[in-house]
Amino acid sequence: METKDEGKAEKIFRDFGKKLDQFYGEAREASTRVESDLRKKYEELKVSAEKLKNEAENKERWKEVEASLKRAGEELENALKAAFKKKQSGK
C-alpha cells in the first residue's frame, strides 16, 4: 500500500512540474509580447512628443488660431442670443 501512495505522490509532483514548466514558458512568451508592445507604445509617444514640440514652436500661428476661435465663439454666442431673443418676442 505504501508503494502505491509513493507512486501517486511522484505522479502528482511530475504533473505539477510539467504544468510549472508550461506556465514558465507561457509567462516568458507573454513577457516578450508585453515588452514588444511597450517598446511600440514608447516609440509612438516619442513621435507624438516630437509633433507637439514642433507645433509648440509655431506659437504665433496658434495664438492667431486661438484669437480667431475666440472671435468665432463670440459671434456664435451673439447669434444664439439674437435667435432666442427673437423667438421669445415672437410668442
For residue range 34-56, list pLDDT tens digits in order: 888 888 998 998 888 888 878 77
Q: What percent of the chain has pLDDT over 70?
A: 87
Considering the domain architecture, whether residues 66 and 52 belong to the same structural domain is answered as no
Cα separation of 25 and 23, whole Å?
Answer: 5
Considering the domain architecture, whether residues 72 and 44 belong to the same structural domain is answered as no
Full residue range of the structural domain in which residue 85 is found: 59-91
pLDDT at 34: 86
Q: What percent of the chain has pLDDT over 90?
A: 23
End-to-end CA distance of the chain: 100
Considering the domain architecture, whether residues 53 and 89 belong to the same structural domain is answered as no
Res 89 pLDDT > 60: no
Domain count, the chain: 2
